[in-house]
Amino acid sequence: MYDRIREKLSILADAAKYDVSCSSSGGNRKNDNKGIGDSSASGICHTYTEDGRCVSLLKILLTNHCVYDCAFCVSRKSNDVKRAAFTVDEVVELTMSFYRRNYIEGLFLSSGIFKNADFTMERLVRIAKRLRLEERFNGYIHLKTIPGASQELLTEAGLYADRMSINLEMPTEMGLKLLAPEKSHDDVKMPLGFIKDTIAKFKDEKKTGLIKSIPKFVPAGQSTQMVIGATPETDMEIMYSADEYYKNFSLKRVYYSGYIPISHDSRMPVIGSQPPLLRENRLYQTDWLMRFYGFNVKELLNTNNPHLDTDIDPKLSWALRNLEQFPVDINTADYHMILRVPGIGVNSAQKIVQARKFGKLRSDQLKKIGISYNRAKHFIRCADSPIILNEPDAPHLKSIILTESSSKYLKVPQNQLSLF
């Protein structure tokens, strides 16, 4: 008797899994109505799939019926897959039943487009509204913005959702046109911009203090995703595009999803080829350097270096290209420069600037603070650093570091000389 709902869940969870976002952070909804749920600002991963990805939300499609035929999408119209659709009641009940057992932080609801944009968006909004108003649910809700939906529906959605997102799908307009001629980045920019402006409007109204209780509007902000490796963009094109969207639309996150071949389409990698996981990892590292380490994307990627190195991470790569800025004196250097040292993270950098007020730091203290000393030692000076007469040049230093470290991606260190 469980078969019907089990089959639906399997189809609609499977179809939703290529959306990599599962974040539940940034929510600040409090349980102040004696209801259920209280957002955890840091987000919680309740389990991890065997591929190592966090499971925080019940991530499902309302339906995988779709009027579009995007080549990269498993739910495209022409694909011969089983189709299913949840009822509003089923989604609400599943969400509550999982949440009450502490399986999830909330719901991530997306959908194929059936009939038209407004019809689809209206269903998504109806579910969120039911959860908030009838079930008094204060957990996390992430809704997909359906491009082309009316501003009235988007505004209503924003009042119930914690986060909203629309996927760029391909990093550039050209890539998108290649695989989904019916779509365009302008369709994405419009609703992203509208929601960004509405968020700002609600914030301003709050500041004036004229109205006592301003409702929350998409408190955890917006995000987007692009598929990597289906189309031939360079890393530079990908990250410049990400940077533009971070800046123009105040996005909280850009997700990069290595393309997993799901189609025999000749325009894309063939089925069975490995998803570009290492490349995806390097892109995320670059994204972190931009958001938390004060790097400008142009320092990391430019016409001289349009691709990220595969054998070393982008921070080390940048340091090797800019050796004249090193070594950095841990005991005197500016916090922002300490952040740029390979092997030193945000937490360690903060501890270093606090600790050095009490006396000059030595290498044993730096190790205890938790920096990756074996990597950092080539780029820093501290109280007990030995004087080095012949500093190695960049290619030499790179080979020293590669021999010392054991990258999870490289079983054999690649020490060949750079051509430049």
Q: By the criterion CB under 8 A, which residues form the site for other proteins?
A: 2, 5-6, 9-10, 13-14, 16-18, 30-31, 34-38, 40, 44-55, 58-59, 94, 97-98, 100-103, 136, 258, 260, 274-275, 277, 351-352, 354-359, 361-362, 365, 368-369
**Shortest separation between residue 236's beta carbon and other proteins, angstroms:** 25
Report whether the peptide linkage leading into residue 275 is cis, meaning its omega lies within 30 degrees of zero. Answer: no
Which residues does 416 contact at the CB level (< 8 Å), separation at least 6?
Answer: none
What backbone torsions phi and psi does residue 235 show, to the nearest 5 degrees? -60, -35
Of the pair 194, 373, the CB lying nearest other proteins is at 373
Of the pair 48, 119, the CB lying nearest other proteins is at 48
**Shortest separation between residue 337's beta carbon and other proteins, angstroms:** 19
Of the pair 166, 361, the CB lying nearest other proteins is at 361
Of the pair 218, 361, the CB lying nearest other proteins is at 361
Nearest to 34 by CA among 119, 122, 138, 130: 138
Cα 204 from chain centroid (whole Å): 27
Q: In what order do the strands lie in the sheet with 163-165?
A: 57-61, 106-110, 140-144, 163-165, 222-228, 253-258
Of the pair 106, 191, the CB lying nearest other proteins is at 106
Of the pair 13, 174, the CB lying nearest other proteins is at 13
**Shortest separation between residue 369's beta carbon and other proteins, angstroms:** 5
**Shortest separation between residue 200's beta carbon and other proteins, angstroms:** 30
Is the CB of residue 353 less than 8 Å from the CB of residue 344? no
Handedness of CA 105, 16, 231, 178 (dihedral sign): negative
**Shortest separation between residue 324's beta carbon and other proteins, angstroms:** 29
Strands (E), 120-270: 140-144, 163-165, 222-228, 253-258
Nearest to 60 by CA among 105, 96, 95, 102: 95
**Shortest separation between residue 277's beta carbon and other proteins, angstroms:** 7
**Shortest separation between residue 25's beta carbon and other proteins, angstroms:** 13
Of the pair 31, 234, the CB lying nearest other proteins is at 31
C-alpha 117/C-alpha 281 separation (Å) is 34
- Name the strand (E) or helix (H) holding 110: strand 106-110
